[in-house]
Structure 1
Amino acid sequence: MGLDEVAQKPHDRLSAWLAADMEAVNQMIRDRMASEHAPRIPQVTAHLVEAGGKRLRPLLTLAAARLCGYDGPYHIHLAATVEFIHTATLLHDDVVDESAQRRGRPTANLLWDNKSSVLVGDYLFARSFQLMTETGSMRVMNILANASATIAEGEVLQLTAAQDLATTEAIYLQVVRGKTAALFSAATEVGGVIAGSDEAQVQALYTYGDALGIAFQIVDDLLDYGGTTAVIGKNTGDDFRERKLTLPVIKAVAQADADERAFWQRTIAKGDQRDGDLEQALAIMARHGAMEAARADALGWAAKAKVALAVLPDHPIRAMLADLADYVVARIN
């Protein structure tokens, strides 16, 4: 989601540091997405998995495990599990959102059909649970199962909250924790658990992932109103056209006068959008400092992520994770 635009990329440094582990993860993904009886499963999965992407979530699992001194085999299983859960949610999201493009390519639901996307997503969820059981850790399974439930809950909440002007920042945060932060925090937390880290370090890894995920999503929501298509992978203003109540809009609605509220009611709640409405939305948000306030929130979450790292071992990976938190929000500087 636009993580390629800054010259020094912490996720690239992480990828280089963890290259052997990541290759093992990629091989496990290829092996486990196979299906003897339903060839459409690897076809659909490969279309998305092989499309690129940063593999950020599995990288976080590998980084957390290695940072905590793990030298066993199961961080590979957990990183593949995290990527399967992520891929399954993307397949389902594209059906729900009726999307036509993902990572610059036609979506699976467009190339095949909605039924295939939903059912292959279900298959990947099942595969992810098979993988996590192989670790033999009930705590790991509990963390990832809870994250999967939170993701689904967040998506359902977004259905009801997305175009409701009564949606508050607290509800937005709940949606963001579901759609983005839950898998970030689970990815980092299970890395510490599988490494046998103490409770303070496991909690720190959870806090880091949670705060990083929230900052990541707020930045994406901001970029939709001020980024370029090349940076965000979609057209500027798509969230407005899709009537999504993201943080800058929620902040502007909270301060709206009668005329502004009528504008939001027409464009977001009722979906009656006309030429010039996006520009008017941007003007209203600028009038109330909504973009700057949302940016300050993102910077605050990134700072919280960095603070959480303090109790973790002094290691090059820790510095890369701190740089990653800065990097996520550098996209809006």
Structure 2
Amino acid sequence: MATLDSIREPVAAELSAYEEYLRDALRSPNAYVSSVLNYIFGTRGKGIRPLLVMLSGALHRGTEPIGERSFLAAMLIEMLHTASLVHDDVVDEAYVRRSKPAVNALWRSRTSVLIGDYIFARSFSVGLERGATDIVTFITKSIGQVCEGELTQSQQSDRLEMTREIYLDIIYKKTATLIGASSGSGALAVGASAEEVERMKTFGDHLGIAFQIKDDILDYALSSQTGKPACGDLRERKITLPLLTVLESVSDRERRHLIAKLSDIRRRPQNVDYLRDAVVAGRGLERSAEVMGDYLDRARALLGGYPDSPCRRSLLSLCDYIAEREK
């Protein structure tokens, strides 16, 4: 199985330099703000978005070095994502993030909202101060889409209505758009052509859709494997692809029965096990994996025109990693 450490190897030096850049750019003279930021920095995720920025930049750089513009693009993407997660935990009243206390579990929700706002504001301030208006403009387009995706998902959870088209639109906006912005801005930062930037953005879009589908599959795994409560989406009445594929394949009568179980899930928690069993029996996980694989194949195909290189191999390995990851 591909590992993130091996995938990072071609840009390991650049990622190390980026870490220094990130902490310097977001440093605050306020001790309280710094303490919260330091906790957030210490509990960040896998770093796939900044990794994509660097790999995409290295793939297109020619004689251009990976420098401040690439670091800035990675910072904007990662901090936008981080701030949105801090806000999400407040909205969802979630107190665990990546098996550790969420920010709102250690500080008040008010502090969580404000630190998320601070990260947004400070990140864009740095980008504009350093004259990277093209990168800021490119990435900013994703922010509204992320919010729109979350709002649409909330609406569907209330209505308990979902179609394949709506589901794919939601996961594109809430997840894939920032991953697409990562690979696209990585190419933009080193002066790639408009065509190359668009190709890499599309690569990231496909990768991001596959990434979210894998997350939705893993939601059905044991919490001891993923570090998250099992079937969290079901408990929040979210219809994701594993359940959706089953709803698409059963009779209208059985569909109404399953939707009724989901509707009543907060009052009858035992419905979680019933729905999970229905998804397993209906091969919802396998069918979802097939859809994920199709998007990964689309992403791989977009790398076909590039000559063999360590960065291209790492991007292909990243596709494999997303398909094979267990958390």
Output aligned runs, 1:33-44, within 5 Å.
33-36=26-29, 38-44=30-36
Letter in 2 for 1:292: E
Q: Percent identity?
A: 33
Cα distance in 2 for residues equivalent to 1:159 and 1:120? 23
Asked if the contact 1:85/1:124 (under 8 Å) is kept, the reply is yes
**How many aligned residue pairs are there?**
323
Asked if the contact 1:14/1:63 (under 8 Å) is kept, the reply is no
Output aligned runs, 1:285-304, within 5 Å.
285-304=279-298
Bigger Cα displacement from structure 2, 106-115 vs 65-74: 65-74
Letter in 1 for 2:140: A
RMSD of aligned residue pairs (Cα, Å): 2.0
Output aligned runs, 1:28-67, within 5 Å.
28-36=21-29, 38-67=30-59
Partner of 1:22: 15
157, 168, 190: which one aligns with 2:152: 157
TM (norm. structure 1) is 0.90
292, 315, 318: which one aligns with 1:321: 315
Asked if the contact 2:79/2:119 (under 8 Å) is kept, the reply is yes
Cα distance in 2 for residues equivalent to 1:73 and 1:239? 39
Letter in 2 for 1:317: C
Bigger Cα displacement from structure 2, 197-206 vs 292-301: 197-206
Q: 1:240 to 1:320 in 2, by over 3 A?
A: same
Asked if the contact 1:186/1:209 (under 8 Å) is kept, the reply is yes
Output aligned runs, 1:53-202, within 5 Å.
53-69=45-61, 70-71=64-65, 72-134=67-129, 136-202=131-197
Unaligned runs of 5+ in 2: none
Cα distance in 1 for residues equivalent to 2:36 and 2:260? 39
TM (norm. structure 2) is 0.91
1:95 Cα offset (Å): 0.8
Letter in 2 for 1:117: S
Partner of 1:3: none
1:18 Cα offset (Å): 1.9
Cα distance in 2 for residues equivalent to 1:59 and 1:133? 23
Cα distance in 2 for residues equivalent to 1:124 and 1:74? 18
Asked if the contact 1:201/1:311 (under 8 Å) is kept, the reply is no
Cα distance in 2 for residues equivalent to 1:132 and 1:146? 15
Cα distance in 2 for residues equivalent to 1:198 and 1:14? 25
Q: Secondary structure at the match of 2:237?
A: coil
